[in-house]
């Protein structure tokens, strides 16, 4: 049995996250704080009171607690406590270790990674040949913000598609951005951010968020789909996207075919969360990531492709897909039937990117 871990101060949000993680890993945990009454106390299986770190008796009280409970590790999310413990712990009682890196590094690591990723993306943009004048270069902070929240919002968008969306949207005409299939909202966030920074147009997400529409007639995929809740997915989408809405995004909780008919007639969407949004009625970027069964993917292209303007992008996700060939067949048919209208086409990651000719 591993020795217990002491969490001090125990009530801070990252302390509580660490508590949950430790319990899941089967670790023995002891909470501690210097408050007379700490509301987090009842969440801990065991508890010890310690004086404030500034109290002259802190080191001795800590030593007693470490010996009494035979503690092997300490986790602290507090920078002052962490700095003090990193100086005295080895001398106070050898063998007891601080398990976390500096809290400042912990808090900032995601932001630092986002800045590095932004620098990489900006230095490695696709050498695109396009008739469209590129939009302004985004700033390092704008791109880092895109990277940071793309990392935080859950979804199924891989790094290659992310970087291709970043690169291609810079060479976009103006118009609506439509996403078929948004689920938890990762790619929707990317499109919303790019739409706003590049001033391309407004984002419309079309998704029924209904479990029956997750069935793709591929058993391995379908068995996974039965374990998730579409209602919860929509709530996660709303929570994730709401802070980034600059009155430029909304959704239709409909199938893609129903959504296309609605869009054609109304050019607007109205939801409690995002309010009322008017659309241009012409699509600059169409991202198809809905049901991947051949018939469904074909219906997506047939019902929405007609709205895409000359110079616009059509992106067919999972053109390369280990579970079936629906998107690939639909993509290949589109390329075959529209040769004269296509300015560029390439596969990046697993998605097919098609740019229509400007004079389309």
Which spans of this chain sit near ligand SAM (rule: CB under 6 A)?
155-157, 180-184, 186-187, 206-209, 213-214, 255-256, 289-291, 296
Q: What are phi and psi of 232, to 5 degrees?
A: -65, -35
What's the count of helices (H) and strands (E) in the chain, helices before strands? 12, 14
Shortest Å, Cβ 55 to ligand SAM:
50
> Which of helix, strand or coil describes residue 9?
coil
When the beta carbons of 215 and 280 are compared against ligand SAM, the nearer one is 215
Shortest Å, Cβ 233 to ligand SAM:
6
Helical residues (DSSP H) of 124-278, grouped into ranges: 140-152, 159-169, 186-197, 219-225, 230-241, 256-266
Shortest Å, Cβ 258 to ligand SAM:
8
Residues whose CB is less than 8 angstroms from the CB of residue 273 and which lie 6 or more positions away in sequence, other chains included: 238, 242
Shortest Å, Cβ 99 to ligand SAM:
33
CA–CA gap between residue 335 and residue 16 (Å, rounded) = 53
Q: What are phi and psi of 228, to 5 degrees?
A: -115, 160
CA–CA gap between residue 109 and residue 96 (Å, rounded) = 25
When the beta carbons of 167 and 207 are compared against ligand SAM, the nearer one is 207
Shortest Å, Cβ 160 to ligand SAM:
13
When the beta carbons of 73 and 207 are compared against ligand SAM, the nearer one is 207
Shortest Å, Cβ 252 to ligand SAM:
9
When the beta carbons of 88 and 236 are compared against ligand SAM, the nearer one is 236
CA–CA gap between residue 333 and residue 60 (Å, rounded) = 75
Q: CB nearest ligand SAM: which residue?
A: 155
Residue owning tokens 């990193």: 86
When the beta carbons of 213 and 329 are compared against ligand SAM, the nearer one is 213
When the beta carbons of 75 and 304 are compared against ligand SAM, the nearer one is 304
């Amino acid at each position: 049995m591993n020795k217990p871990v002491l969490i001090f101060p125990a009530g801070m949000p990252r302390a509580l996250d660490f508590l949950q993680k430790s319990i899941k890993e089967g670790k023995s945990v002891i909470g501690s704080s210097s408050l007379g009454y700490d509301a987090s106390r009842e969440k801990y299986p065991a508890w010890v009171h310690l004086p404030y770190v500034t109290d002259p008796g802190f080191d001795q009280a800590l030593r007693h607690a470490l010996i009494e409970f035979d503690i092997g590790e300490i986790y602290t999310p507090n920078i002052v406590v962490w700095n003090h413990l990193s100086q005295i712990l080895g001398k106070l009682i050898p063998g007891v270790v601080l398990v976390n890196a500096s809290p400042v590094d912990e808090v900032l690591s995601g932001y630092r990674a986002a800045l590095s990723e932004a620098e990489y993306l900006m230095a490695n943009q696709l050498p695109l040949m396009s008739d469209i004048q590129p939009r302004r270069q985004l700033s390092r902070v704008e791109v880092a913000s895109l990277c940071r929240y793309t990392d935080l919002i859950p979804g199924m968008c891989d790094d290659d598609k992310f970087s291709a969306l970043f690169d291609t949207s810079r060479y976009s005409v103006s118009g609506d951005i439509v996403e078929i299939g948004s689920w938890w909202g990762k790619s929707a966030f990317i499109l919303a951010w790019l739409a706003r920074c590049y001033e391309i147009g407004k984002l419309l997400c079309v998704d029924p968020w209904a479990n029956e529409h997750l069935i793709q007639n591929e058993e391995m995929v379908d068995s996974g789909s039965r374990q998730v809740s579409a209602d919860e997915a929509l709530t996660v989408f709303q929570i994730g996207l709401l802070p980034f809405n600059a009155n430029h995004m909304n959704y239709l909780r409909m199938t893609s075919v129903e959504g296309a008919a609605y869009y054609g007639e109304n050019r607007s969407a109205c939801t409690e969360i995002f309010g009322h949004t008017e659309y241009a009625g012409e699509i600059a970027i169409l991202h198809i990531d809905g049901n991947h069964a051949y018939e469904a993917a074909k219906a997506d292209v047939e019902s929405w492709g007609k709205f895409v303007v000359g110079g616009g992008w059509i992106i067919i996700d999972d053109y390369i897909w280990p579970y079936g060939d629906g998107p690939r067949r639909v993509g290949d048919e589109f390329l075959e039937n529209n040769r004269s209208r296509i300015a560029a086409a390439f596969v990046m990651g697993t998605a097919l990117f098609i740019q229509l000719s400007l004079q389309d």
